[in-house]
């Protein structure tokens, strides 16, 4: 099995994408991260889903977690309504957020090569070289895990049974 056998299409976001749109994309496809395109539309970076979650929370609450509890439900609803206006660009500009450079793998890389490179780069998403633009193809962490599991024997309980 090769990298190209694991390919999936992913939504690609831009600097202007709002936090709300990004959250919808993550929730709709159970994504662990989002691919960010540069100004020319070329996929170039990855932001993790949890950092997008941080974009929905006011910065002052992230700066001081004690403040999360002082707001009641009604106030929290206002916070969510307001938070959706933030953009991915703000995440990119935030020094506290780590934006990963998009890892690139060859289409004919073996699963082991892809796994090693993604683990080494702590990447949740890798771009398959040769694909680009709206048709870009990716390897995701979940697809890679599924592939690895097909090579492993079903969980062996013989040790316990012995």
30, 60, 158, 160: which one binds other proteins (CB under 8 A): 60
The stretch among 21-29, 66-74, 104-112, 118-126 that binds other proteins (CB under 8 A) is: 66-74
42, 67, 112, 116: which one binds other proteins (CB under 8 A): 67
Residues numbered 94-133 forming contacts with other proteins, rule: CB under 8 A:
94
Strands 33-37 and 100-101: unpaired
Contact call for residue 16 and other proteins (CB under 8 A): no
The Cα angle at residue 114 between residues 110 and 118, in degrees rounded to 5: 170
Distance CA 141, CA 143 (A): 6
Question: How far are the Cα atoms of 36, 105, 113, 115 from residue 110, in angstroms, in the given order?
Answer: 25, 10, 5, 9
28, 40, 70, 162: which one binds other proteins (CB under 8 A): 70
Question: How many positions of this chain bind other proteins (CB under 8 A)?
Answer: 15
Q: Contact, 16 vs 87, CB < 8 A?
A: yes
Site residues for other proteins per CB under 8 A? 58-61, 63-64, 66-67, 69-72, 74-75, 94
């Amino acid at each position: 099995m090769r990298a190209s056998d694991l390919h999936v299409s992913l939504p690609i976001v831009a600097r202007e994408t709002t936090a709300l749109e990004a959250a919808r994309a993550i929730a709709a496809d159970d994504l662990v991260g989002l691919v960010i395109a540069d100004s020319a539309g070329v996929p170039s970076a990855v932001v993790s889903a949890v950092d997008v979650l941080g974009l929905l929370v006011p910065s002052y609450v992230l700066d001081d977690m004690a403040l999360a509890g002082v707001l009641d439900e009604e106030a929290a609803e206002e916070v969510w309504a307001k938070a959706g206006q933030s953009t991915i660009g703000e995440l990119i500009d935030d020094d506290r957020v780590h934006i990963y450079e998009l890892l690139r793998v060859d289409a004919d890389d073996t699963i082991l090569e892809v796994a090693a490179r993604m683990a080494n780069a702590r990447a949740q998403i890798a771009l398959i070289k040769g694909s680009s633009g709206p048709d870009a193809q990716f390897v995701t962490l979940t697809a890679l895990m599924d592939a690895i599991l097909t090579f492993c024997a079903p969980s062996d309980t013989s040790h316990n049974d012995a």
